[in-house]
Chain A
């Protein structure tokens, strides 16, 4: 259900579990200096930890602004997991609805899926499907993005379609699982109860399907199924790992495409999967040029869990596009391995708010590889 209004909107950091995450901090300030938000605003992770340790309460703004991109955790000498601290704190308050982008629609859709629908999402893709296959594919919330984001140049359905094409091209007929949303956003906005409901349903469906490998397109799905569901005996594969594994069965057109790769935080810093996407891109024959900040230093795409798409987020997105343009120029491609990054970056590219001149194309990994590969294997 929608949370009741009786839960406080400020949080006192007093519980031991929350406090134990940040107790070792010695205030060196590396987190603040590395924070992508700090470069465009006055957001201060060190200050937040400091005031929490002193017993001050945290407000909505402190908690919803953080992108949970984990760049601070990567640098921290004391290994303080700031994103985990933010998540724990979020779970103790009601996040203000105004802090959610798109009128809270994606959060409501998640609640809707958990509370109202008996089945998972229905997908329809062209291609060969075998409902008894040991490999299953789950595209994520792509069809819902199409209905509510209203981007003219981008069809999110194509993410699933391209992945299906690629899976068929390497000679596999996958099972198409009708799961609910993976629950990543519910977990990271602190709604553990909602996440558990979704997790229970999905786990049941995955077990019932009798699969050994679950293939996902989205970095967030990959992280959630692998780290949070902890499904024993079922291998979760991101589309980049899958293509990397079956590279020998794909043939590519000769091309002079210039491409650069954006490491999604869930795939890179969270799951430490940096190389397979790069292997895939190199193998397509396109020339891969690295961004100035790559691998564990990659800058976040600017929004997470549909929280706060505001001026700061847009400034971060523009920095990303600037970085990519410096690497590949205006006729190049920026490839991402995450449905969300794909949505956010394309949105700022198409919306032209704030005004900008970037012309490069942002593409999802599966779409990019599918476009370059030969039709008939």
Chain B
């Protein structure tokens, strides 16, 4: 058994993380991380949206139901929104979704809202690394646990 095999068995869990990144700040931030050659975990899958305010709670629930282990919604810093107050709307929506997940008795820490600007490539990588580690600690989500 090679070292790689042992690693696979011991550290089998590779979380799937969906990032909804806004076109104007966070997606550009991810781009900057890329062109600056900053490494961040490859589990992260980025979905570009025109504004973080576009992300409906339904998208988030659907991501989880289709097997995402964690979801980040990333937008411009408050006051910097390309559409003036789209990110504030996103904040309200995500907070409501987190509250709803708590009512359902589910780990709301799998969902996070982050402000990442276009110049913060390094921060983008940091946030992704940290969040991936957090999800790894939580373990994979369980779908279909009530099927008996």
Contact indicator A147/B104 (Cβ below 8 Å): no
Residue A208 interfacial (CB < 8 Å): no
Question: Beyond A1-B144, A115-B143, is A147–B58 a contact (Cβ under 8 Å)?
Answer: no
Question: Beyond A1-B144, A115-B143, A121-B105, is A109–B97 a contact (Cβ under 8 Å)?
Answer: no
Residue A114 interfacial (CB < 8 Å): yes
Q: How large is the interface on B (under 10, 10 to 19, 20 to 34, 35 or more residues)?
A: 20 to 34
Residue A113 interfacial (CB < 8 Å): yes
Contact of A115 among B97, B99, B103, B144 (CB under 8 A): B144
Contact indicator B103/A147 (Cβ below 8 Å): yes
Q: Which residue of A lies closest to B105 (CB)?
A: A119
Contact of B143 among A116, A123, A143, A197 (CB under 8 A): A116
Contact indicator B100/A117 (Cβ below 8 Å): no
SS class of chain A's interface: helix, strand, loop or mixed? helix
B-binding segment of A64-72, A100-108, A250-258, A342-350:
A100-108
Of residues 44 to 80 in B, which have CB atoms within 8 Å of A's CB atoms?
56-58, 61-62, 64-66
Contacts of B100 in A (CB 8 A): 109, 143-144, 147-148
Contact indicator A120/B61 (Cβ below 8 Å): no
Contacts of B58 in A (CB 8 A): 102-105, 108
Of residues 99 to 157 in A, which have CB atoms within 8 Å of B's CB atoms?
102-105, 108-109, 111-123, 143-144, 147-148, 150
Contacts of A147 in B (CB 8 A): 96-97, 99-100, 103
Contact indicator B102/A105 (Cβ below 8 Å): no
Contacts of B64 in A (CB 8 A): 112, 116
Question: Beyond A122-B102, A143-B103, A144-B103, is A116–B141 a contact (Cβ under 8 Å)?
Answer: yes
Contacts of B103 in A (CB 8 A): 121-123, 143-144, 147
A1 to B66, CA, bound (A): 8
Contact indicator B143/A117 (Cβ below 8 Å): no
Q: How large is the interface on A (under 10, 10 to 19, 20 to 34, 35 or more residues)?
A: 20 to 34
Question: Beyond A105-B57, A143-B103, is A2–B65 a contact (Cβ under 8 Å)?
Answer: yes
Residue A201 interfacial (CB < 8 Å): yes
Residue B148 interfacial (CB < 8 Å): yes
Residue B13 interfacial (CB < 8 Å): no
Q: Which residue of B lies closest to A119 (CB)?
A: B105
Residue A352 interfacial (CB < 8 Å): no
Question: Beyond A116-B141, A148-B96, A200-B148, is A109–B65 a contact (Cβ under 8 Å)?
Answer: no
Of residues 26 to 43 in B, which have CB atoms within 8 Å of A's CB atoms?
none
Q: In angstroms, how far is the closest chain B Cβ from the Cβ of A195?
A: 12
A118 to B58, CA, bound (A): 20
Q: In angstroms, how far is the closest chain A Cβ from the Cβ of B89?
A: 10
Contacts of B99 in A (CB 8 A): 147
Contact indicator B65/A108 (Cβ below 8 Å): yes
Contact indicator B104/A113 (Cβ below 8 Å): yes
Contact of A148 among B57, B66, B142, B144 (CB under 8 A): B57
Of residues 1 to 51 in A, which have CB atoms within 8 Å of B's CB atoms?
1-2
A108 to B142, CA, bound (A): 16
Residue B3 interfacial (CB < 8 Å): no
Contact indicator A116/B57 (Cβ below 8 Å): no
Q: Which residue of A lies closest to B144 (CB)?
A: A115
Contacts of B61 in A (CB 8 A): 105, 108-109, 112
Residue B145 interfacial (CB < 8 Å): yes
Contact of B66 among A2, A104, A120 (CB under 8 A): A2
Scan B101-134; emit 1 where CB is below 8 A from any A CB, else 0: 0111110000000000000000000000000000
Contact indicator B65/A201 (Cβ below 8 Å): no
Contact indicator A115/B56 (Cβ below 8 Å): no
Contact indicator A112/B96 (Cβ below 8 Å): no
Q: List 24 A-B contacts (CB under 8 A).
A: A1-B65, A2-B65, A2-B66, A102-B58, A105-B56, A105-B61, A108-B58, A108-B62, A111-B65, A112-B106, A113-B104, A114-B146, A115-B65, A115-B143, A115-B144, A115-B146, A116-B141, A116-B145, A118-B105, A143-B100, A143-B103, A147-B99, A147-B100, A147-B103
For the complex with contacts A102-B58, A115-B65, 10 further pairs of A-B residues with Cβ separation under 8 Å are A1-B65, A2-B65, A108-B61, A109-B100, A112-B64, A117-B106, A119-B105, A143-B100, A144-B104, A147-B99
A residues contacting B by CB (< 8 A) are: 1-2, 102-105, 108-109, 111-123, 143-144, 147-148, 150, 178, 197, 200-201
B residues contacting A by CB (< 8 A) are: 56-58, 61-62, 64-66, 96-97, 99-100, 102-106, 141-148
Return the 3 tightest CB-CB contacts between A and B, nearest first.
Answer: A103-B58, A147-B96, A147-B100
